[in-house]
Amino acid sequence: MEPVIRFTNATLGYGHTPILRDLSFDVHEGEYFGLVGPNGAGKTTMVRAILGTLKPLAGTVRVAMPSGATVRFGYVPQRDTVDYVLPYTVGEIVMMGRYRQMGIFHRPGEADRTAVQKSLDHVDIRDLGGMSFRDLSGGQKQRALIARALASEPDVLVLDEPTNGMDLSSRLSILDLIKHLHGNDRLTVIMVSHLLDDVANHVERLAIVEREFFQVGTVAEVLTGANLTTLYGMHVDVRRVDGRMVILAGGDDERR
């Protein structure tokens, strides 16, 4: 099976300074893939390489649909990285997802407005289209940014820390939405997170990202106590409770 994304001995970094070396792995069409690791480990660097905004220092990062067509990414950034000074409405922000299709000099047309409405419906925030983005809750903001990504009609949805800083119910609701987009719409999803619990119980395969420690595989293969203990430099235990994976960190041998 041809991958959508293929890293071949890729070294990533900025200027002449490598951050991640000799990466080789694939992401396939229709897959739900996770990128996990501590803060500052290089996850965002890897996302930039996937999105094509960072060229590898060595090796290759090939991004193409199995048919050979160009991959259209729907990118959902961390919601605190966008500008909150101007009171854009949710509808205006989702419309930004259509700008690539519109092309230069063109104004939004009927098809773009329909696509925006469809995207708002899809993430269940139809009523919020006229509201100011900056007045929304964290979960609603995340849905709006996901709607913008969907409005661009993506082949691959890339989410950077989508549940960071959210309360429990918002977090689960966003994770369910992403699962739905993957399961029902057959979207290829790449989710970046430092929250291991989020990734462990949702993605199919994942990569652990750290400068000197990189592993790729299924959740069961990669999310082991031994790997996570090495990664975080502290004792980490992985258990199953009612069929769900639970990560316990910082315990001692007696507790285990």
Partner 1 sequence: MSGAEIVRTIFEEFPYALYGSILVGMICAFLGVYIVAKRVVFLGAVMTQVSVMGLALTFLPLFAVPHTLGSLVITLGTVVVISRMLTGKKVPKDAVLGIVFVTSIAARILVLQKAAKVEVAEIENLLRGDILFVTPALFYLMAGAFVAASAAHLLFFKEFTYISFDAETARTQGFNAAGWEIAFYLIAGVVISFATHMVGDIYVFGFLVIPPVAAMLLARRVTRIFVVAVLIGLLAPPVGLFCAFLFDLPSSPAIVGVAAVVLAAAWIVSLVRKR
Residues of the shown chain interacting with partner 1 in the complex, contacts defined by CB under 8 A: 51-53, 73, 75, 77, 81-83, 85-89, 92-93, 96, 99-100, 102, 104-105, 107, 132, 148, 152, 158
Question: Minimum Å distance from CB 229 to partner 1?
Answer: 33
Question: Minimum Å distance from CB 164 to partner 1?
Answer: 16
How far is Cα 118 from Cα 60, in angstroms, rounded to an integer? 36
Q: Which is nearer to partner 1, 87 or 165 (CB)?
A: 87
Q: Which is nearer to partner 1, 135 or 185 (CB)?
A: 135
Q: Which is nearer to partner 1, 53 or 169 (CB)?
A: 53
How far is Cα 11 from Cα 9, in angstroms, rounded to an integer? 7
Q: Which is nearer to partner 1, 15 or 243 (CB)?
A: 15
Question: Minimum Å distance from CB 151 to partner 1?
Answer: 11
Question: Minimum Å distance from CB 103 to partner 1?
Answer: 10
Question: Minimum Å distance from CB 75 to partner 1?
Answer: 4
Question: Minimum Å distance from CB 223 to partner 1?
Answer: 28
Q: Which is nearer to partner 1, 78 or 201 (CB)?
A: 78
| Cα 23 to Cα 1, 31, 54, 207, 214, distances in angstroms | 20, 19, 15, 10, 8
Q: Which is nearer to partner 1, 76 or 222 (CB)?
A: 76
